[in-house]
Amino acid sequence: MRRGVRIALDIGDARIGVASSDPHGILATPVETIRRGPGDLGRIAALAAELEAFEIVIGLPRSLSGGEGPAAVKIRETAKQVQDLVQAGNAALAVRLVDERFTTVTAERMLRERGKKGAKRRAVVDQAAAVVILQHALDLERETGNPPGRAL
């Protein structure tokens, strides 16, 4: 298992959920929700530097059959922008795309089970989805010994 902090992003049209791992790659925790718009990608780069992340994992939406549609194209474009921005400050920082099927559904269910309702749930669902994405990536790497998903 590689050591170091990883950041996960759940990128949506209105918000970006952010989660990070501990330096040992065991546990994913929520960080914040970033509003989409001017400065959003700069905030991601700042978080990556602040947390001393060595990798950013971005959820890639796929259909149930595994195919990619228009949403995946948008995420790939945004992921490339993130990569260009963060690597300008740290050329070694890797960006990887991982399958995010069912992450928002899983996050919504977890929040409901914990009693979060309405606006409170909507405010943190993107962070929770990022946690689900990152925890899955960490678990997969621990099981296989290989980095999760695909490098950008």
Q: Which domains does the chain have, with CATH numbers?
A: 5-151 (3.30.420.140)
- pLDDT at position 134 is 96
Q: Which amino acid is at 132?
A: V
- pLDDT at position 124 is 79
Report the run of H or E that residue 97 belongs to, with start and end.
strand 94-99
Q: Can you tell me the distance from the alpha carbon of 66 to that of 52, in angstroms, rounded to the nearest whole number?
A: 32
Ranges of the chain with pLDDT below 50: none
For residue 12, the 8-state DSSP code is -
Q: Which amino acid is at 94?
A: A
Phi, psi (degrees; rounded to nearest 5) at 149: 60, -150
Per-residue pLDDT tens for 92-115?
999 999 988 656 656 566 666 666
Mapping DSSP to helix (H, G, I), strand (E, B) and coil, where does residue 7 land? strand
Per-residue pLDDT tens for 84-97?
999 999 999 999 99
- pLDDT at position 1 is 87
- Six token digits for residue 7: 């950041």
Is the pTM value of this prediction over 0.85?
A: yes
> What strands lie across the sheet with 28-35, from one edge to the other?
28-35, 15-21, 5-11, 53-60, 94-99, 150-151
- pLDDT at position 19 is 98
